Amino acid sequence: MDSAIAYHEAGHAVMAVWLGGEVLRVTIEPDHDDGPRRDGEAMVRWHHRGLTARQLRERELMTVLAGPIAEMTHQETNLPISSLPQWAEDFRIACEISAMIVELPSQRRRMLEAVTDQVHLLVKRHDFWQAIAEVADQLEAYETIEGEEVSECVNRWLS
């Protein structure tokens, strides 16, 4: 198993919990009967209480981008998220979310760049990276972990 996948999914999961989402489950062995072929899956439930539609979408966008950025950080690379086929679905979703936030394509592009930069800075923080690494280690060991385990890691490192 490629550890990059574990870091990718851990990035999604840690960001979601940090932003107030509820991670239900994270796996690097997803079922392939309900959609496109994928190497991992982070199932997140967002609670809308107290959030505007824009705030919720911004959190979703950060969570989508956190997977590829955590993978890049683990591999010590820095590539455009649109550049690799394994990130195509993340990029597609990020573009859809950005289109729900801003209308003009030029604004979307700038917003995607700004949010990508923001997520890069978060992921590189020592405490944030430690939470991602711990979740990735658990994924490599068990292939699937429940949301409570992700929350425990986030609370341990990011409280």
154 pLDDT tier (thresholds 50, 70, 90):
very high
> Could you report the per-residue pLDDT of 78-88, keeping only the tens digit for each?
888 888 888 99
Residue 25 CB neighbours (<10 A): 17
> Could you report the per-residue pLDDT of 87-108, keeping only the tens digit for each?
999 999 999 999 999 999 899 9
Q: What is the pLDDT of residue 35?
A: 59
Report the share of the chain in percent with pLDDT over 70.
Answer: 94
The alpha carbons of the chain give a radius of gyration, in whole angstroms, of 15
> Could you report the per-residue pLDDT of 33-68, keeping only the tens digit for each?
655 556 889 999 999 889 999 999 999 999 999 999
